[in-house]
A and B are shown apart, each in its own frame.
Chain A
Amino acid sequence: MQLCTFKLGDYFFGVNVEKVQEVIRHQEMTRIPLANKEVRGLINLRGQIVTAVDLRLLLGLTGFSSSDEPMNIIIQDEDGAVSFQVDEIGDVLEVEESSFEYPPETLKGIARELIQGAYKLTDRLLLVLDAEKAVAMTA
């Protein structure tokens, strides 16, 4: 499987490339009143309006501050597009199925729902984000 990798806080994440429409640098956003706190704003993606979601907050980490300029990973589903905002975008990595392991029982909460497991790379762990669940979680 190929994973589009990104950094989120101290963690190294990956999401199935097939779910990713595109990756774009920081965009100007329009903040949205009355929305959940993880919804950071609306982005004009070539005429399409995309809701930007703070993936850090969604995963229970400290959210981005208003001065941060996170990158966007655009996930397309049948209802439209959502942008997950992350610290940094990495390479697309080909991973070995044999190095995959499910998360330990001690992983609790929302992270348990959204993290499918980890690939044990030589120097670090690559956590796999369940894109579909994450999108569903924002609704």
Chain B
Amino acid sequence: MNEMDEMDEMDEVIQEFIVESNENLDNLDNDLLALEEDPSNAEIMGSIFRTIHTIKGTCGFLGFGKLEKVSHVGENLLSKLREGELQLTKKRTTALLQMVDAIRQMLVCVEETKSDGEKEYLELIEILAALQIDDAEAEQGDTPPDAAPSVEAEFPEEEVKVKPIGEMLVSSGVATSAQVADAIKQQLDGNKAPVGEILVNQGVVDKGSVAKAVDKQSEAKSRAPAASAGSIRVDVNLLDQLMNLVGELVLIRNQVLQFGETFDSPVFSTTSQHLSQVTSELQEQVMQTRMQPIGGVWSKFPRVVRDLSQGCGKQVRLEMEGKETDLDKSLIEAIKDPLTHLVRNSVDHGIEMPEVRSANGKPAEGVITLRAYHEGGQVNIEICDDGAGIDPEKLKNKALEKGLISEDQAERMGEKEALNLIFKAGFSTAAAVTNISGRGVGMDVVKTNIENLGGVVDISSRLGEGTTMRIKIPLTLAIIPALTISCAGDRYAIPQINLMELLLLEGEDAKSGIENLHGVPVYRLRGKLLPLLYLNKELWNEEPAEDEEANNNINIVVLKAGELQFGLVVDEVNDTQEVVVKPLGKQLKGISSLAGATIMGDGHVAIILDVFGLADNAKLLSEATHQGEGVHGEQEVAEESEKVSLVLLRNPDGGRMTVPLSEVTRLEEIQRTSIERVGNEQVVRYRGQIMTLIDVFSLLPERRSPERITADAQKDAESVVAYQPAESSSVVQVVVCTKDGKAIGLVVDQVLDVAEEAVEISGESSRKGVSATAVIQDRVTEFLDVDEVIAMSKVKPDGQARRGDNNATMYI
């Protein structure tokens, strides 16, 4: 067992000791008083003795000397009382009670500082020792207990106990106990105001002294021992059951809400709204109980890093950010191993030897940073090192050597792709296989494990600067966002994390859009061939009816399983919703295409599909690994490396503009009616925050010549999409960008497409707000400079929004 574990275990022992002792001490108070009533009761006597004996023994073991001393003299006294050598007098009881209080105070101290404090309690020890002498002698003794300063007086009770306000007011002398009793009586009679307020209203005390008392009280509260009063231990199974019950409650709530819509009763609808609210809150809170900070897993890493770095002669410091980031208990367990592996890898492969670092002008000590934070309902975990980084060329050579890729593939491979080679099975980069890592098992396992949790892992690296592994996992496995679809009359849920986009082929497209590649159905998605799976065929082995298919629209759900993308043809796409994931019984565990089940709002069970399993069963995954061996594949991969994803936009004047997809957070349609005006800004409530809207095209200066405008208009008339002035529709199209953590909406006339294009910048900036121009899809397209547009929209000090020099009016 290593030192770190020992420390943790020690903490646990101490915590247990505190909780247990506090419980026992509470009983002890009562026992002592009961014993005073009935001094001959051997059973109570025995119980008291055992309690103190246990405390003494444990704190001796834990090394709390002072606590041990106090309990030791107490034990001696008790032992004599038990043997009948001494009688239990009032003085002895008082002294024993004082001892109980003293032990309590030391336990508080232990809990806060892990030591039993400075206080020696010498007087108390003296009193307890003196009381061990026979009664007759004690009476003559020169330390009458009354004269001894009481421990309670030295340690005002507020420090350990939270007193009620009334009691505090009485003790500070501003109110009498009769007045407080009267106030409490009023409360019992139904007055909901706190005691302090009632007293103020009656003119008994002034507000100031109540405020003072409340301050004191809250101070005491914060000091009250957390382990003993603020928390209790709960069986995890109980939490699981609670979670199930809440899930059930959510379903019933949904049914009630559905039912409530069918008849018109305001009372019922308010009640059901209330029910809905409470249920949601309950669900949230219960989920919260299962949350644990990730710091729990991380706590063993400093030791891992220390041992490893010493083992290989490196100097490594571990830094942690976001220890308190919560995630579901089940996930905490599940990510432990992958994380450990990644941290070990960082030490072993990432950080260089100190002399190498110094030679490269880096500090000899390397830094590994663990970072965790919540983002968009997911948890991000990053493992960064400031080491040598990974050389994609070396990776390629290694992979070539091992025969994992062909030479052609290696040549075509982009940097990103090359980095992802480390996730391939049977791949290891360490020159020598050490006992730490480098056996070529691991990274692929790490990736699989994380993907099994519904997460993704991503690697980025700069040569000479370091490597960052980024893991994204859902907050909880119990509830996930999912897309619900229908197929052959059944409903299914698909985890949102696998979802790329939705396609609807209508009319002519539905007939001719799906092509046949030697028996394999494919669809051309932005110039690339997307393999298609028919869900009904995959699950039920039923061929789609030929004629029926031709008449209807075709719904394709574009999914990704790791690197692979494929289209799933379904009958109907329904909506996205949060679903409670329930595991399948053991009868169904072996079916890899099914990830679980969930209960829909109407009480029906829907199956959650496993996208990886589906792809695997259809033999798509193995194809993906051989992808690029065919003639066409080669070209595609070669082109892909220089391609950029662009959002293509249309100006109200018909001109084309574009924003790189990397700068875009989302594309949204916003109801015109939901747009509000604050000062000169147009704002809209968006995902819990206020998003400023910027009308891009009215902001930009006019650029084109009149001839050009007519030419563009002609081109548009020829194009398939008929020109439709934005004013006429009830929604506006908004490109949402995130700047400094704030969402900013660029109002555009129309979002045309998201295209992957190999861009050749052909022109300089044509006007303010435009960074460059290029020919994309045979049209001159301006690259929108998002930062500049935002800067241009900034309201001037005089309150006038700065506009372009054209006279276009805001149309929203």
Contacts and interface: CB of A to CB of B under 8 A. Distances in A.
Interface magnitude class on chain A: 20 to 34
B606 interface: yes
A139 interface: yes
A53 B588 CA distance: 11
B539 interface: yes
Interface string A68-86: 0000000000011110000
Contacts of B597: 30, 42, 49
Contact of A51 (B245, B247, B540, B587): B587
A138 interface: yes
Interface in A36-81: 36, 39, 41-44, 46-51, 53, 79-81
Contacts of B584: 42, 49, 51
A33 B587 contact: no
B784 interface: no
Contact of B587 (A31, A47, A82): A82
Contacts of B251: 47
A42 B586 contact: no
Contacts of A36: 587
Interface in B570-600: 582-589, 591, 593-594, 597, 599
Nearest to A46: B248
A36 to B, nearest CB: 7
Contact of B605 (A34, A42, A46, A138): A42
Contact of B586 (A29, A31, A50, A79): A79
A138 B606 contact: no
User: Which interface residue of A29, A35, A44, A46 has the most chain B CB atoms within 10 A?
Assistant: A44
A28 interface: yes
B94 to A, nearest CB: 54
Chain B at the A interface: SS class: mixed
Contact of B245 (A30, A42, A47): A47
A44 B604 contact: yes
Contacts of B244: 47-48
Contacts of A110: none
Contacts of B585: 49-51, 79-82
Contact of A28 (B247, B589, B604): B604
Given A47-B244, A47-B245, A49-B599, A39 B607 contact: no
Contacts of B322: none
Contact of A44 (B245, B587, B593, B605): B605
B134 interface: no
B301 to A, nearest CB: 34
Given A28-B604, A30-B605, A50-B585, A35 B591 contact: yes
A32 B606 contact: no
B603 interface: yes
B506 interface: no
B594 A33 contact: yes
Contact of B607 (A33, A44, A50, A82): A33
B587 A43 contact: no
A47 B589 CA distance: 19
Given A43-B605, A44-B605, A51 B248 contact: no
B741 to A, nearest CB: 39
Given A32-B591, A79-B585, 8 more contacts: A30-B490, A30-B607, A33-B538, A33-B539, A44-B605, A47-B247, A47-B248, A47-B599
Interface of A: 28-36, 39, 41-44, 46-51, 53, 79-82, 138-139
Interface of B: 244-245, 247-248, 251, 490, 538-540, 582-589, 591, 593-594, 597, 599, 603-607
21 contacts: A29-B605, A30-B490, A30-B605, A32-B588, A32-B594, A33-B540, A33-B591, A34-B593, A39-B587, A41-B605, A42-B584, A42-B597, A42-B605, A42-B607, A43-B605, A47-B244, A47-B599, A48-B244, A50-B585, A79-B586, A139-B589
